[in-house]
Amino acid sequence: MLERYAFWLTENSTEGDVMGESRGIEDLELKKEYRAIWQDGTMQKPDPSLFQTRLTSKEIKIKPKSSNIPGLQIADLLAYPLREKLLFDKGIRNNYTGNFNETVYKSVADKIRKNPMGRLRVLVRFSSLKKKGWVLPQPQQQKPLTSNCLD
C-alpha cells in the first residue's frame, strides 16, 4: 500500500505524509515497519529513494481514535471491506458477504492503483496471519484481473 502511495505521489509530482490510527501495542510494530521501508525500501522497490523523496517524514504519525480525524475515519470505512475481499480472493477467508462490503468494493475497485499490466498485486504478510492462528492456503496460480477479484 505504501508503494502504491509513493508511486501515485511520483506520478503526480508531489509529496505526501502517512498517518495511522493507534491500535495500542501494534503501534510499535507499525512504526518499525514504516521506518524500515523509508530507510531500506521494499522487496519490490529496494531503492529507498522512492520513499525518501516522496514521503515527507521518516516517521509515521499515529493518532488515537479519539482524535476523530476525518481521513482516518474514511480509511476505516474502506480498509475492512477491501481487506475482507482480498482475503476471500486469496482463499484465506471462506466467505465474503454483506451488502456494505460488496458496495464499498465495487465503488472503489476501478480506482485502486494497478501495475502497468492492469493487475493488482498485493503482498500479504502471511507471518502476521499465522501468528493469529489462521490456516493459510497453498500458493495458487495468479488469476487474471477482473472487476470482482484482487490479485
Same domain, 57 and 74: no
The mean pLDDT of the chain is 79
- DSSP-derived 3-state class of residue 35: helix
Same domain, 73 and 135: yes
Q: Residue 36 has what pLDDT?
A: 93
Neighbours of 59 (CB within 10 A): 11
Same domain, 124 and 75: yes
Same domain, 101 and 149: yes
| Beta carbons of 60 and 31 less than 8 angstroms apart | yes
Q: Residue 105 has what pLDDT?
A: 84
Could you say which DSSP state residue 135 is in?
Answer: P
List the chain residues with pLDDT less than 50: 124-127, 129-130, 135-151
Show the domain range for 52. Answer: 1-64
Same domain, 60 and 73: no
CA 120 – CA 78 distance, rounded (Å) = 17
Model-level pTM greater than 0.85?
no
Q: What is the pLDDT of residues 35-56, one digit of tens each?
A: 999 999 988 888 999 999 999 9
Neighbours of 100 (CB within 10 A): 11
